[in-house]
Amino acid sequence: ATYLGRVFQDPMLGTATNMEIQENLALAKRRGKARTLRWRITQQERTQYRELLKTLDLGLEDRLTSKVGLLSGGQRQALTLLMATLTKPKLLLLDEPAAGMNNDECVELAKLLRDVQKRFQVTIIIIEHHIDLVFDLCSRICVLNLGKVLKIDIPQNIQSDEKVIQSYLGSRMEKNDEQQ
């Protein structure tokens, strides 16, 4: 578990909504470490959290004492991603991180994930239904259908695979019929 970070589909499950942003970050930072009765956030930690939050470019660095429950879905998801990387995991599991996001938010999420991947040199396994995000972000894709592996390949080959197209996008013949 020390080498594993995860982001839930519902960002509310990965955060304590009634706690402050800085308190959530402190909990994530202390994950897996010995606990004592003394628990406080140091000024050094606040400075570190501000710097980390600046990288999200969401204005959260000035809201350390805001309750997480007041954040938008996209802000909460970005925060949970940041929390998942505080312990510098080797593997990051993302369960539909773009759930409930619009296209602009998905573009920002992809940018953020590429930055996280590069900065932390972490392998990311992502389960996602936003196909554009998957093709934009992933170097290898495993397509499942009814719990069975349908295809594992690079995005270009996945896009042109007839079995994948039929399973997820409908056959080419069906698409042509719909366009007419």
Q: What is the per-residue pLDDT across 86-138, written as a single tens digit (0 to 9) for each?
A: 888 889 999 988 877 778 878 888 888 888 888 888 899 999 888 888 888 89
Q: Above 90 in pLDDT, residue 141?
A: yes
CA distance 79 to 66: 12
Q: Is the pTM of this model over 0.85?
A: no
Q: What is the pLDDT of residue 55?
A: 85
* Inter-residue contact 5 to 85 (CB < 8 Å): yes
Mean local confidence (pLDDT), 51-59: 88
CA distance 38 to 56: 30
Q: What percent of the chain lies above the pLDDT cut of 70?
A: 89
